[in-house]
Structure 1
């Protein structure tokens, strides 16, 4: 990614055993900007939280992972632009890791919005994105809002089921009561798209968080059942 003389580029490795925090992932991003160590640490934390630490393939972790952010110190640059471009490149790489997940056929974008706390939005998004029942439903093209609601309610944070809204794509499936007439259109959406979105609107605050996940189907089982160390 470039803007003017500023350049940010990188590469990443996945794409099995990917879960917060990173698992077997390796990612390295470079910029030609001259950025001091403390600022690099700050940018690294902000970017990692929203990208590489907000993806999951199978929920499994390992002891080996790394995300490096390296300044080559060649030019002076606006630090806000540096952070924006690092975020942009990291977001692209994180999505590619999910897309390349073992046996994956879909990218699942899970967004929790209007939460009272950022941590609440993050933990609920993580729970839904990590749910095997949700991931297999997405694989099968099943707009199963009940599985989404159950995963959303599994964290330590309380939710009000009578205020919460659940969308798949732009199809409202639940807002205190189910909407069965939306099921068929949501099914068509899931079966016709490679990237699908689940939105959980808590209708209580201003905080939001997004996780990216992959679906899980027969190919994932085949790959990991036949793999021997």
Structure 2
């Protein structure tokens, strides 16, 4: 399977570096580049890639707004956006996850970049690294849970809430299955049902919502 990638970054040297790295593979192909958010959205609509590597800070509209526009377009629903940032703890990253990003990568992660793109293209979120959990926790810590948290989660069964809480703590489907004595497939089904009921795009948004509603609190394990 060939994974089609759009590179969106206002620094041409960064785009060139990523392109050179991806050109070394047979299964990852750069189909377009963009130097700002508007062009990034246009490139995505034109080329319909599998994955977008999106810089957060760009001229015109930034990466967060570009991600929001992509996530809001039902015709682009299958496209996965990964945010690129220079800083490990960044408020913009949290907002990007809220608006539909599948995860984020530090710009100096070149050796793992190819594996990360393949992971996202396969439908998974980049939530395993502790640094990602750190971002979510840091900004959940600064923001009080929504007053309507219980109402927001009302559609979920007790089991789906349990599973959602474990997703928010960074557990995989296999680990959730082990913790709750169920198969990984059953855990995956509960995750999918929770996302459907809550109207979220992927596991990344499920994690953010778990913190925002108070289902999970910063520092809990």
TM-score (norm: length of structure 1):
0.30
**Greater relative contact order (Cα 8 A, min sep 6): structure 1 or 2?**
1
From the two aligned structures, give the one with the greater helix fraction: 2
Larger strand share, 1 or 2: 1
The TM-score, its normalising length taken from structure 2, stands at 0.30
User: Max radius of gyration: which structure?
Assistant: 1
